[in-house]
Amino acid sequence: MRYKTIVLAAIATSLLTGCATLTQGFKSVVIAPEEINVLSGRIGGNGPVLVVKIDDTKYAHPQIGLEAADIVYIEQVEGGVTRLAAVFSSKIPDRIGPVRSARISDIDILSQFGRVAFAYSGAHSKLLPIIDSANLVNLGAQSQPPSIYTTDQSRNQPYAMVLRADLLMQKIIDKGYQVDRAKSVGWGFGKSMAQAVPISRVFIKWPAASYGATWSMSEKRWHLFHNNLINLSDTGEKLGPTTLVIQLVAISDSAYRDKFGAVTPFSQTIGTGTGYILRDGTSITATWSRESPDVGTTWRGLDGIEIPFAPGQVWVALTDTEPDFTLITPSAKSSPTK
């Protein structure tokens, strides 16, 4: 942690037998270090954890509040499209959305964070008892007033629900709900010494959706593309993490369905597997391990040494398909940029 020291010079003057004697004393004042969020490694508090389910179809873009999330999970849902689980702790914006419904994969993803506040638009009737029994504070729209789950009149349903997160967090305080503060979920932050391959772009795909990412040298983060379109927030900011995690998981049919009868896929995030850690314009081949629901996911290189993430926002893409990388060749690295 970084400490700032302010040196204060105190000058005392005394007169002795007609001669002036100058005495200088120095006192050091140590200011408390800036707090670092354990989920993202960026400057910010480790406050209560809020997880919000967010639609990820083309009709939901541009999304609201994602630039403030510490972690964003990309999950596969019915029809092969994706949906997001955005995790907030260091900063919680006033508005987040558009909010959509929960899925069975969320239960395992959320359990590693402890008792979180869970915000979503609804869920299949068979899934609601599972959510109720999970170690979380169930704050779905079905039990909250329209002042908290608002409607954005500029958007079409069902892509218009926007969470007033500021009001929801105040209700948590007022009602005394127990929500855990951020804790480590398996990874740390710092400089990586793992063997890495320089890349200029990655393409991640699901049956009916895709994400791309290109490295921004000037911003030291990845710029995301959703279905080949630049991924923007409603403020116009380009969305993209400092560390992009591609976690290869088994995706299978669950016992649940959506309201149209389509089978809900389940992403297996407990166990072991392989994947890639993308940071600093490079890709690191890695393995992941998560022993049980209440512990986080650790990432190690092929040499068995833990891989630290780069401080900043983290996105985790849960997919069962190998990504496509565009490698940077030695000649391309030495060529001038036009």
pLDDT tens string 98-156: 999 999 999 999 999 999 999 999 999 999 999 999 999 999 999 999 999 999 999 99
pLDDT value for 331: 56
Q: What fold, for 50-175?
A: YerB-like fold (3.50.90)
CATH architecture of 197-334: 3-Layer(bba) Sandwich (3.50)
9 or 269: which carries more pLDDT confidence?
269
Does the pLDDT of residue 334 top 90, yes or no? no
Residue type, 241: P
- Better-predicted residue by pLDDT, 25 or 241: 241
Q: What is the pLDDT of residue 106?
A: 98
pLDDT of residue 337: 36
The answer, yes or no, to whether residue 19 has pLDDT greater than 60, is no
Within 10 angstroms of residue 103's Cβ, the number of other Cβ atoms is 26
Domain coordinates of the chain in residue numbers? 50-175, 197-334
Using one digit for the tens of pLDDT, what is the confidence trace for 179-198?
999 999 999 999 999 999 99
CA distance 203 to 324: 5
Angle at CA 221, nearest 5°, toward 218 and 225? 110
Percentage of the chain lying above the pLDDT 90 cut: 84
pLDDT confidence of residue 258:
84
Each residue's pLDDT tens digit, 141-161: 999 999 999 999 999 999 999
Does 197-334 match 50-175 at the fold level?
yes
Least reliable range by pLDDT among 167-176, 189-198, 261-270, 329-338: 329-338
CA gap 233, 215 in Å, rounded: 18
